[in-house]
Amino acid sequence: MSDCVFCKIARGEIPAQIVYQDGQVTAFEDADPKAPVHVLVVPNQHVGSAAELGPGNGPLLAAMVLAANRAAEAAGVAGSGYRLVMNVGQDAGMSVPHLHLHVLGGRALAWPPG
């Protein structure tokens, strides 16, 4: 999807604070953070949401989690803890229709989250 904002960030067409990037995924600081550390990890290729994933997407999900772990380490929250969140659909709070993993940390996070 050529007009997707997260696709454009992954391609370098829109500036963002990139914290990690490889051939499969891009991790960048959220423009509207909900915690002191709030990084988004997105696939470089467009995937609408987790609802579109199937059995063959295991390597992509692993790449996303590994990038999230690297982002948490780089932000200094790997030892204290962080939350990984993947929303699906508007009612869950998904505002950009591109699969993304939130990495949240830097403070104690409440539960339940919603």
Q: Which stretches within the chain are classed as H helix?
A: 5-10, 58-75
Measured in whole angstroms, the distance separating CA 51 from the mean position of its chain's CA atoms is 16
Query: Both ends of the chain: CA-CA distance in Å?
Result: 30
Backbone phi, psi, residue 67, to 5°: -65, -40
Q: Which residues are catalytic?
A: 100
Structure tokens at 84: 């990984």
Backbone phi, psi, residue 28, to 5°: -145, 155
